[in-house]
């Protein structure tokens, strides 16, 4: 079974965990990168507003051959109880029929976005296999 870990990380916490998991699982890894990365102030103010409005941010093209992967792991921070805008854009790239395991990284150790992530993934014709939250 071939696995890819796709992750978004603004501050570096999620990246560290994704790299560690990829090494442990012998998985491929793909970073989700914004087309125009906002500075910290804009990310934490405008980004939160975009999260609440359920907006996506444009991301750089992903060189993923989806048919090569049996397992997709999506790792993301939690912004105001929601997936950040680049993660919404990533989910839009998912082909139908895939199964995605989601790991949310939260400073408080709690995330109330399970239903939101599942709805986004299901909306692409894929399904969420597993959802977990890890502390940053």
Give the residue extent of every domain in the chain: 3-135
pTM of the model: 0.93
For 123, the 3-state DSSP assignment is helix
Residue 109 banded pLDDT, cuts 50, 70, 90: low
Rounded average pLDDT over 63-91: 94
Dist. CA 124–CA 40, nearest whole Å: 30
Domain spanning 3-135, CATH architecture: 3-Layer(aba) Sandwich (3.40)
For the chain, the average pLDDT equals 92
Dist. CA 72–CA 3, nearest whole Å: 6
Instruction: Give the H/E segment covering residue 92.
Output: helix 85-92
């Amino acid at each position: 079974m071939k696995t890819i870990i796709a992750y978004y990380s603004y501050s570096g916490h999620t990246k560290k965990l994704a790299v560690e998991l990829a090494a442990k699982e012998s998985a491929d890894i793909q970073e989700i990168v914004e087309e125009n990365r906002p500075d910290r102030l804009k990310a934490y103010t405008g980004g939160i507003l975009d999260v609440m409005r359920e907006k996506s941010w444009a991301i750089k093209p992903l060189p993923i051959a989806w048919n090569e992967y049996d397992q997709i792991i999506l790792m993301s921070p939690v912004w105001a109880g929601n997936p950040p805008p680049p993660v919404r854009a990533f989910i839009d790239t998912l082909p139908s029929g895939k199964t995605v395991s989601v790991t949310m990284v939260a400073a408080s150790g709690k995330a109330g976005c399970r239903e939101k992530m599942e709805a986004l993934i299901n909306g692409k014709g894929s399904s969420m296999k597993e959802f977990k939250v890890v502390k940053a």
